[in-house]
A and B are shown apart, each in its own frame.
Chain A
C-alpha cells in the first residue's frame, strides 16, 4: 500500500537534484496573469535593448498607453517595464537598475506613471513584491506560508511548476483578458509586440464599481521616492505623471487633488518634468475599470502623453542634457 510513495520520493529528489545540477530550463513561472506580467517584465529588464525612454509604473501605466504609438510620436526608442500596483517603488527601482546594468549608457529618460490609487498604498503585496524581487535577484520565489509551503518545497512541486509545467501548459487569463489575449504565453507575446504595454479589454461598469476615490499619498512614499530616484544616473531625465480616473467615480474636487498629489510627489522624487497637463479625469466610456483605460482611452491618453512630452521637449531645447 505504501509502495507508491517511493516513486513520489524519487520524483521529489529528481526535482531537487535536477535544479541543483542545472538540468532543467530556467524559471518561467507564468502560472497566472499577475505572475506572467511580473515574470515577463523582469526578464525584459535584464535583456539588452536599444530603448532610450523607459516607462515605469503600475498597471495603469501597463494598460494606459501604447508604447509603439508613443515611440512613433516621440521619434525615440521606448520600452515599458510597467507592472502592477501590488509592488512598491523599491521594486520598480530594482527593475530600473537591472535594466541600466544590462543596457549601460543608453537611458535618457525615465517616465514614471502611476494611478493615484497606487500612491496611497502603505504596503505592497508581500507575495508580489517577493516574487518580483526573487526574479530580479535570482533568489527563491515566495511560496505559501506554513505547512503547505514547506511541503511543496520539500516535494519539489515548485521546481516542477516554475520550470517545466509553466512551459508546457498554457494558463488561461481571467475575465475579458481571456477572450482577448487567451493564455499566459499569448499574453507574453502581446507584451513583446506592445513593447511592454497592453490594452485592458474590460468595460467599465459604473454601477458595479467599488472602492473610494479619496486619494492621498502614503506616508512611506516620500522616503521610497528618494531611494527610487537614486537608482538611475544623474544625467537621466525624470518625468512623472498620474493616470486618469473615470469622471463618475471621483469626487468633484478630484482635478485639484490630483494636481496637488502630483506636485508633492514630484517634489519628493525631485522630478525634472511633471506632467501636470495630463487629464485627471476622462469620460467613463474610455475606461475598463476605476484605474485602467480601455483601448479607446488608451489611444487618446497615448496621444495626450506624447503631446505633453513633446511640449516639455521643446521647452528644454535650450538644455540639451534634458532633451527627451
Chain B
C-alpha cells in the first residue's frame, strides 16, 4: 500500500478510528498496530508476510536466549544465528541474482563458462529496512545495551509499525520498542505537528518528486543526452530523490506522531552540507548511524590508525552502497562516498592540527603571523585573515560538496556502469537542445517550493519552522499545500524510489 494512494486514505481513516477506540488498552492497541501493519504490507503481496513474521520471531527468540545465556561463546552463537537468518534472507532475496551473475561474468573472464540458476526472485518490499531494524535489536541485546522484551506483540508492532515499515527511518529498538510498551498520550500539538509533516511530506512526494521524475527520465538517456541536459537532469534527480525519500520519512514521522509515537528525524537539510561528512550527518540519518554503530565501529572505527580507518570507512560505505541495490553502480556510488569521506577526514584532520598549532613548522617558520600572542584566538585570527573571508570559504566548500554529491547521484541513477561512462562522457558535449529552456523552466517551477522551504528552515535553524507560525497562518500554508497535492494527485500512484531497496 502506498501513502499516496486512494486505498491508503481509506485504510488510514479506518485505522485511526479503531486506534482511537482502543487507545487506552496497550495490548489491544499493539494488536491493532500489528494487524493494521500486516494488512498494509500484505496489500502489496501477502506471501511475504511470512518473511516479515519469521524475521521478527527469530530476533524475538534470539533476544530471549541471549538474555538467558551467560557464556560469551554461546551468546556469540545466538548472535550468529540471528545474523545468518536475517542476512541469509536478505542475501537470498536481494543479492542472489547479483552475485550469481557477477560470478558467472568473472568465471567467463577466466575462460570458464557457468550458467547460474535463474530463479527470478521477487524482492520483498522493505526487506532491507526491517532486516536492519530487527538486527539492531539483537545486536543491542547482545551488547547488553538493551533489555530484551518478553512481549511478542510489542515486538511484532515495533518491527512492523506501518508508517516506517517499508522505507524507514530504520528505528532502533532502544527508541521505539519502549514506546510500544507504554500507553501513549496524544496531544493537540502532536496532532498538529503530525498533520504538518504528513502534508509537507506528501507535497514533496506528489508535487515535487513525481513531477521531477519525467525530467530525469528525459535526461538519463545514455548516448543521446548532451552535457547541459545531463547536468540539469542530475540536479533534477538529486531533488527528486530527496523529495521522494524525505517526503516518505516526513509522512512516516507525521503518521507516527498522530498515533502518539516519536520516530527519528531522517533528513536534516542535506543539501546545505559543506563537506561530505556533514552530508552524511544530514542524509538518511537512520542508515548512516546504523552503519556507524553496527559496522564501522565494530570494524575498529578510527581506533586502529589512519590506514585501518580508511579501510573501515571504505568497507562501510561499499556495503552501504550495496544495501541500496544489487548492482555494481550502487557499489561504485558507495565507494565514491567512502572515498569522499576519507579525503574529507584527512583534510579536516590536517586543518584541525594546523588550527591547534598555528605554526606547525615552529614559530620560526612564521614569526610575523598574527595571533602569535593570543593562541586561544588563533582559530579566529587565521580564519579572518586568510586569503578568503569565511563566507566565501563556506560557499566554496558547499559548491564542491554539491558537485561531489550530485555526481554521486549520477552514479546512483545510471542503470549500469556503461551508462555511467556514457553519461559522464556527455559532459564533453555542450550542445543545447532547443527545448532546454522548457526543461529548466519545469525544474525551476517544481523545485522552487522545496528550495524556499529549505532556505527558511536553514535560516531559522528549525526543521519545523512553519509550526512557529500562528494557527491561522499555518493553516493557509497547509491549505495551499493540500490543494497543490490534489492538483497532482494521480489515479495511478507512483511508488516511492526507496521501496525498491
Residues in chain A within 8 A of chain B (CB atoms)? 1, 3-8, 10-12, 144, 148, 155, 157, 160-161, 165, 168-172, 178-179, 181-183, 185-186
Residue numbers in A under 8 Å from B479 (CB-CB):
3-8, 10-11
Complex Cα spacing A168 to B435, Å? 15
A157 to B487, CA, bound (A): 6
Tell me if B435 and A157 are in contact (CB < 8 A): no
Report yes or no: B487 in contact with A172, Cβ–Cβ below 8 A.
Answer: no
The residues of B with any CB-CB pair to A shorter than 8 Å are 191-192, 195, 199, 211, 214-215, 217-218, 221, 224-225, 433-436, 438-439, 441-442, 445-446, 471-472, 475-476, 478-483, 486-487, 491
A sample of 13 cross-chain residue pairs with beta-carbon separation below 8 angstroms, ordered by A number, consists of A3-B471, A3-B472, A4-B475, A4-B478, A5-B479, A6-B475, A7-B480, A155-B486, A157-B487, A165-B487, A179-B225, A181-B435, A183-B435
Given contacts A179-B221, A186-B434, contact A170 B475 (CB under 8 A): no
How many Å from the CB of A174 to the closest CB on chain B? 9
User: Which residues of chain B have C-beta atoms less than 8 A from A185's C-beta?
Assistant: 438
**Interface residue SS majority, chain A:** helix
| Contact residues in A for B225 (Cβ distance below 8 Å) | 179
| Interface SS of chain B | helix
Q: Are A169 and B442 also in contact (CB < 8 A) when A3-B475, A4-B482, A186-B434 are?
A: yes
> Quick one: which of A155, A160, A169, A172 contacts B445, CB cutoff 8 A?
A169
- Given known A157-B486, A182-B438, contact A172–B214 (CB-CB < 8 A): yes
Nearest residue, chain B, Cβ from A182: B435
Q: How far is the CA of A170 from the CA of B192 in the complex (A)?
A: 35
Whether B218 and A172, one on each chain, are in contact in the complex, defined by CB atoms closer than 8 angstroms, is yes
Quick check: A8 and B482 within 8 Å, CB to CB? yes
The 10 tightest CB contacts between A and B, nearest first, are: A182-B435, A7-B479, A4-B478, A3-B475, A170-B438, A183-B438, A186-B435, A172-B214, A4-B479, A178-B218
**Contacting residues, chain B, for A3 (C-beta < 8 A):** 471-472, 475, 478-479
B224:A179 contact, CB within 8 angstroms: yes
Q: How far is B481's CA from A157's CA once the two chains are assembled, in angstroms? A: 14
B191–A1 contact, CB under 8 A? yes
Whether B445 and A168, one on each chain, are in contact in the complex, defined by CB atoms closer than 8 angstroms, is yes
Q: Please, which residues of chain B bring their CB within 8 A of the CB of A157?
A: 486-487
Q: Which residues of B contact A186 (CB under 8 A)?
A: 434-435, 438
Give the residue among B435, B441, B475, B487 with the most A Cβ atoms within 10 A: B435
Which A residues are in CB contact (< 8 Å) with B215? Answer: 172
Contacts of B472 in A (CB 8 A): 3
**Is the CB–CB distance between B446 and A169 below 8 Å?**
yes
CB distance from A97 to the nearest CB of B (A): 33
Q: Are B487 and A4 in contact (CB under 8 A)?
A: no
Distance in angstroms from A64 CB to nearest chain B CB is 23
Asked whether, in the complex, the Cβ of A179 is within 8 Å of the Cβ of B218, the reply is: yes
CB distance from B179 to the nearest CB of A (A): 22
A181 to B439, CA, bound (A): 11
Chain A residues within 8 Å of B217, by CB: 172, 178
- Bound-complex Cα distance A47 to B100 (A): 63
A186 to B442, CA, bound (A): 13
Residue of A nearest to B225 (CB): A179
B491 touches which one: A11, A148, A169, A183 (CB < 8 A)?
A148
A contact residues around B224 at 8 Å (CB): 179
B199:A4 contact, CB within 8 angstroms: yes
Given contact pairs A6-B475, A8-B482, A144-B491, enumerate 6 new A-B contacts (beta carbons under 8 Å): A4-B195, A4-B475, A7-B480, A155-B486, A168-B445, A179-B221
Which of B445, B479, B480: most chain A CB closer than 10 A?
B479
- When C-beta atoms are compared, the residue in chain A nearest to B441 turns out to be A170
- Which residues of chain B have C-beta atoms less than 8 A from A6's C-beta? 475, 479
Bound CA–CA A8/B199 (angstroms): 13
Question: Quick check: A182 and B480 within 8 Å, CB to CB?
Answer: no
Residues of A within 8 A of B487 (CB): 157, 160-161, 165
Q: Which A residues are CB-close (under 8 A) to B471?
A: 3
Chain B residues in 8 Å Cβ range of A182: 218, 433-436, 438-439
**With contact pairs A1-B191, A179-B218, A179-B224 given, residues A11 and B480 touching in the complex (Cβ less than 8 Å):** yes
Contact of A183 among B199, B439, B481 (CB under 8 A): B439
Instruction: Give the CA-CA distance A160 to B199 in the complex, in Å.
Output: 20
B106 to chain A, nearest CB (A): 32
A183 touches B483 (CB 8 A): no
Task: Give the distance in Å from the alpha carbon of A171 to the alpha carbon of B195 in the complex.
Answer: 30
Residues of the B chain whose Cβ atoms lie less than 8 Å from the Cβ of A12 = 483
Interfacial chain B residues near A144, Cβ < 8 Å: 491
Q: Could you tell me the distance in whole angstroms from the C-beta of B485 to the nearest C-beta in chain A? A: 10
Cα of A304 to Cα of B237 in the assembled complex, Å? 46
In the complex, what distance in Å separates the CA atom of A182 from the CA atom of B441?
12
A7–B218 CA distance with the chains assembled, in angstroms: 35
Q: Are B482 and A183 in contact (CB under 8 A)?
A: no
Q: Which residues of B contact A165 (CB under 8 A)?
A: 487
